[in-house]
């Protein structure tokens, strides 16, 4: 069975997808998607030999066909015609942005991105906005005591700069679920600590102002629920 985090990712994969699972680790996700008839083909990539060997063993044990494993950095060994849905889950936002930047062929509205940053989600959101991608959906999932954002995006060709606040919360503040409330509260807590740490540092005055503004906006959203 998939973890709640990977199960949420799987729920966003459209039926009939040709997927690439980047950083596949043990290939649990592509195995699940193929076994359940959600994906019609899968490429599982990883930068390290060990995970690819584990993935091959798990694929063989499951008796699943249609999954190809590739030892490579991100998407560098894949061609555009192989996949229409790219999944990058379980990495930091900076790493996700790097992988996307190395695959210019993703700038195609027919390609769906499903991204699940473990940290620095702001880096992923900023990259998407500044490079012409539009976030279509963003949800949160709780797993082993932490809450993670999961987003889907496509290339739209319209680049934009997003505010500091949007980079921190994405669109999780729109009609939040219980998991999204928990995510927003974790962002609120982190930003509150940051504001306290940089308060009074002249060279960081603009960053302080943006951080406090974001904290105030989150206070309005979370105040009643968390007694802020």
CB-based contact 55:47 (threshold 8 Å): no
Closest Cα partner for 133 from 102, 116, 112, 164? 112
Tens digit of each residue's pLDDT (9 = 90 or more) over 56-93 = 999 999 999 999 999 999 999 999 999 999 999 999 99
Model's pTM, two decimal places?
A: 0.95
Amino acid 204: pLDDT: 85
- Across residues 186-200, what is the average pLDDT? 95
C-alpha dist (Å) from residue 51 to 95, 153, 173? 18, 27, 36
In whole angstroms, what is the distance from residue 107 CA to residue 15 CA?
Answer: 22
Amino acid 226: pLDDT: 81
Does the structure show a pLDDT above 80 at 228? Answer: no
Domain boundaries, the chain: 4-159, 178-226
In whole angstroms, what is the distance from residue 55 CA to residue 28 CA?
Answer: 8
Amino acid 123: pLDDT: 98
Tens digit of each residue's pLDDT (9 = 90 or more) over 16-70 = 999 999 999 899 999 999 999 999 999 999 999 999 999 999 999 999 999 999 9
CA–CA–CA angle 3, 179, 92 (5° rounding): 60
CATH of domain 4-159: 3.40.50.150
């Amino acid at each position: 069975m998939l973890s709640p985090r990977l199960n949420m990712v799987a729920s966003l994969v459209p039926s009939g997808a040709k997927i690439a699972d980047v950083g596949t680790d043990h290939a649990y996700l592509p195995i699940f998607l193929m076994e359940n008839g959600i994906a019609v083909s899968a490429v599982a990539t990883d930068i390290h030999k060990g995970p690819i060997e584990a993935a091959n063993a798990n694929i063989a044990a499951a008796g699943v066909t249609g999954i190809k494993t590739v030892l490579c950095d991100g998407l560098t060994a894949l061609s555009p015609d192989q996949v229409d849905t790219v999944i990058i889950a379980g990495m930091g936002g900076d790493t996700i942005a790097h992988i996307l930047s190395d695959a210019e062929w993703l700038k195609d509205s027919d390609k769906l991105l499903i991204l699940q940053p473990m940290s620095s989600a702001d880096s992923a959101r900023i990259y998407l906005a500044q490079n012409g991608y539009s976030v279509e959906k963003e949800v949160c999932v709780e797993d082993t005591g932490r809450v993670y954002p999961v987003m889907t995006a496509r290339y739209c060709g319209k680049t934009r700069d997003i505010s500091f606040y949007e980079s921190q919360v994405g669109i999780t503040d729109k009609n939040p679920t219980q998991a999204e409330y928990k995510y927003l509260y974790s962002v609120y807590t982190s930003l509150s600590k940051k504001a306290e740490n940089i308060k009074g540092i002249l060279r960081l005055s603009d960053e302080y102002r943006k951080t406090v503004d974001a904290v105030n906006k989150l206070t309005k959203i979370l105040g009643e629920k968390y007694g802020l």
